[in-house]
Structure 1
């Protein structure tokens, strides 16, 4: 029985004056376009701060992105722990009633 493969399609984005063709799943396209737009905004902001070297600018963007990812992961874990504790508390209240 054949399985249905997810069809990827090409999406063209432009970052720092360079066009890229990226194959993406249709539901991912909006995220790819938003990421390219945000990356260009960040490059423009860094250029205004005097960082003209594209390599340095890309490194800063990547570094900041990783820091934000790690922060978000930690916040997500803390939220999960808090929700789990609340569910246990509610379960205790319900089962003791």
Structure 2
């Protein structure tokens, strides 16, 4: 599935460390997968389970220590680079 998605568009996966995810999601009651006695263990479990699929899906951007504004700039630049490469023709796209 990752290959099909990549052929149809630009896929950018945002990654964060367990500590960052825990900090960002603590106190959020709308995260049913993180409810329970040990949300940190659950985050680690979910990350391990999903990591390969996410890495195969496209381009990884690490979010730790970056503001929303910085991430928007990074994602925009990556997107523009990938679109320019795609417009140049087959075999020119960087993976």
Could you tell me the TM-score, scaled by structure 1's length?
Answer: 0.31
Structure with greater proportional strand content: 1
Computing the radius of gyration over CA atoms, which structure comes out larger, 1 or 2?
1
Structure with greater proportional helix content: 1
Higher RCO, Cα 8 Å, sep 6+: 2
Could you tell me the TM-score, scaled by structure 2's length?
Answer: 0.32
